Amino acid sequence: MSNSLYEPLFDLEMKLLQPDVRRSSKKISEILDENFIEFCSSGHIWRYQVGDVIESQNDDLSRYEIIDFKIKILSENVFLVTYQSNRLEESNNISYSLRSSIWKEIDGKLKMIFHQGTPIRQ
């Protein structure tokens, strides 16, 4: 793993958990590839379309922690990111999930092309 990838990919993953980014079609388009697909924890498959925003409940009231963040280089410009996400809700409940994302460097920018979140028990 190249250490030069860790910080930019970690920062991008954290940005996608922030409500102001999730509600901004401009900010989302800077991070997600136009062919992005997500297998949601609900079982739904979400395909990104330019102009989309990411809606979810309790975005404003939740804080996220990323632990065990790892990067695996799949090819010269494709990277697999895996980590555990802990979401602390306003009610002090914590939800846990395992997450994986595939990132691709396109024209010098990192773009997410795939993501999956799987709820787990802690």
| Number of domains observed in the structure of the chain | 1
Contact 71, 5 (CB under 8 A): yes
For residue 17, the model assigns a pLDDT of: 86
Contact 110, 12 (CB under 8 A): yes
Sheet of strand 32-39, all strands in order from the earlier edge strand to the far edge: 45-47, 32-39, 109-120, 94-106, 78-88, 63-75
For residue 111, the model assigns a pLDDT of: 97
- For 57, the domain range is 3-120
pTM: 0.85
CATH number of the CATH domain containing 75: 3.10.450.50
Q: CB 81: neighbour CB atoms within 10 A?
A: 22
According to DSSP, the β-strands at 63-75 and 32-39 are unpaired
The tens-digit pLDDT sequence of the chain (122 residues) is: 456 899 999 999 999 888 888 788 889 889 999 999 999 877 888 887 765 555 554 455 678 899 999 999 999 999 999 999 998 887 888 989 999 999 999 999 999 999 999 999 88
Angle at 70 between CA 54 and CA 38, to 5 degrees: 25
For residue 110, the model assigns a pLDDT of: 97
